[in-house]
Amino acid sequence: MGASNLKTVSVFGGGVSVCTYTSAIDEIVRLAKACESSAVTASAVHLVMEGYYDNELQQKINRFNIVTPDGQPVRWAMNLLWNTGLKDRVSGPDLTLKLCERAEKENLKIFLYGSTEPVVTAMKNNLLKQFSRLNIVGIQPSWFREVTKEEDKQDIERINNSGAHICFVGLGCPRQEKWAYAHLEKVNAVMVCVGAAFDFHAGMLARAPEWMQRYGLEWLFRLSQEPGRLWKRYLKYNSHFIYLLLKQIVKKKCVKS
């Protein structure tokens, strides 16, 4: 696995890359052109807290080449705790589009792995409407169950034989991160975990208005769309994230004084 040129800082034990869209994409493209088996993910509060509760998962994610600050709260935490001065987050859905735009210009091959067949097919078609010269060399829906060794071998061969430079992975957090880690040195591409970006770009889910995204309220918009599925997650993770952040800020001030 190739090393990253991006600096990382710790958010409750989980490494997050100090990056912008431009620097993250530059690094992904560098790894893709070098045919490095690499892992990238976009880290919102959900993933930060999953790693905080599960040390083994956190250690796996800390081996990723790039972990972008997906959610505004993650960016705020990086600025408050480490003075990173980041002016914007690097969200999975936007990273997907910007990376496809760059891949089209540089003739990098794209593979889409995950979600349901209707979703991944719609995502492919919508991406091609936006980027007509984008070279999408294959799609593979999720199995939605534990795969056999033979099935996993077939998936790896399908991705590698396609010649893909970048493989977008949409299996949901943290399943997609576990999958990407398990396939380092097996999949000969940069695996970019983008989760809900598949649903957004397939037209299955609406994105929050720009102002809600800017003020870190995207979670509230998503909660209004899927209250039954998301309310427990946001109640548990968001409140604990805020508590840990305030605790770290107080500790930092006490050390300074």
* Low-confidence stretches of the chain (pLDDT beneath 70): 1-3, 257
Closest CA to 37 of 189, 176, 170, 150: 189
Per-residue model confidence (pLDDT) at position 255: 74
Is the backbone peptide bond immediately before 227 cis, with ω within 30 degrees of 0?
A: no
Per-residue model confidence (pLDDT) at position 234: 78
Judge whether 112 and 46 are in contact, CB under 8 Å: no
Closest CA to 12 of 255, 247, 253, 178: 247
* 224 contact partners, CB below 8 Å, separation of at least 6: none
| Tens of pLDDT, residues 27-82 | 999 999 998 899 999 999 999 999 999 999 999 999 999 999 998 999 999 999 99
Per-residue model confidence (pLDDT) at position 224: 81
Per-residue model confidence (pLDDT) at position 216: 79
> Which DSSP letter does residue 83 get?
-
Considering Cα of 200, then 236, then 230, then 65, what sign does the dihedral take?
Answer: positive
* 193 contact partners, CB below 8 Å, separation of at least 6: 39, 40, 41, 42, 92, 169, 170, 171, 173, 176, 177, 180
Per-residue model confidence (pLDDT) at position 87: 96
Per-residue model confidence (pLDDT) at position 235: 80
The CATH number of 8-202, from 3.40.630, 1.10.3470, 3.40.50, 1.20.120, is 3.40.50
Per-residue model confidence (pLDDT) at position 2: 53
pLDDT above 70: percentage of residues in the chain: 98
Own/partner contacts of 76-79, CB < 8 Å, gap of 24 or more, are: 76/216, 76/245, 77/11, 77/241, 77/245, 77/248, 78/9, 78/11, 78/16, 78/18
Check: pTM over 0.95? Answer yes or no: no
